[in-house]
């Protein structure tokens, strides 16, 4: 919900930390359709997560041995920095670009795409990369950092989006 004008993970927000002069204003999350009172419809949020290619598609199945992952590799480090997203939509509510551009996929969806682009076990890296860098993707981010400053578990969707932008530039120059 939005508490005193800031999106928060309210199940973990202590009242004494947010009480402003003994008063608290609680509103629904911004950038999502309101169903009733404080309840918002999260369908748009999750649809954008899907549009960004957010579903993991493994290269193998249960009949294969588990993939060996080098936990010290640069790619794995990138995945680990972003993988813990809880899909609370606080970053989405904090994002001004989401507010201005309804086609923008949003920080959570692009953060998820970044984890999949860097996961060597994912079968559709080119597809996810294309979706995340296409219309409404990472190029729309203005890098205000609101998503990062409001994330209740201290993730940095801004860093994930910047990584996606960097990779798209490297790919562009590599193909030139």
Predicted pLDDT at 176: 45
Is the predicted pLDDT of residue 45 greater than 50, yes or no?
yes
**Cβ proximity of 115 and 83 under 8 Å:** yes
Compute the distance between CA of residue 128 and CA of residue 111 in angstroms, rounded to an integer.
11
Q: Nearest 5°: phi and psi at 55?
A: -95, 130
pTM of the model: 0.90
96-120: average pLDDT: 96
Tally DSSP H helices, then E strands, for the chain: 9, 5
Our measurement of the distance from residue 22's CA atom to the centroid of its chain's CA atoms, rounded to an integer in Å, reads 33
**Cβ proximity of 104 and 47 under 8 Å:** no
Predicted pLDDT at 81: 85
In whole numbers, what is the pLDDT of the chain averaged over residues? 92
Predicted pLDDT at 50: 94
- Domain 41-175, CATH number (from 1.10.1060.10, 3.30.450.30, 3.30.565.10, 2.60.40.10): 1.10.1060.10
Is the predicted pLDDT of residue 175 greater than 80, yes or no?
no
Condensed to tens digits (0 to 9), the pLDDT of residues 15-28 reads 888 887 888 999 99
Is the predicted pLDDT of residue 35 greater than 50, yes or no?
yes
């Amino acid at each position: 919900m939005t508490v005193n004008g800031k999106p928060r993970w309210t199940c973990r927000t202590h009242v004494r930390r947010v009480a402003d002069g003994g008063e608290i204003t609680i509103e629904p999350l911004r950038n999502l359709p309101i169903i009733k009172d404080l309840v918002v419809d999260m369908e748009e949020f999750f649809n954008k997560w899907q549009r960004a290619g957010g579903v993991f598609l493994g290269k193998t199945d249960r009949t294969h041995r588990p993939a060996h992952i080098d936990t010290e590799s640069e790619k794995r480090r990138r995945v680990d920095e972003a993988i813990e997203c809880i899909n609370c939509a606080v970053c989405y509510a904090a994002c001004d670009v989401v507010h201005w551009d309804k086609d923008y996929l949003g920080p959570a969806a692009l953060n998820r795409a970044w984890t999949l682009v860097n996961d060597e076990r994912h079968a559709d890296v080119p597809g996810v990369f294309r979706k995340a860098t296409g219309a409404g993707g990472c190029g729309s981010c203005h890098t205000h950092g609101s998503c990062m400053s409001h994330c209740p578990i201290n993730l940095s969707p801004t860093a994930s989006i910047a990584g996606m932008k960097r990779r798209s530039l490297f790919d562009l120059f590599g193909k030139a």
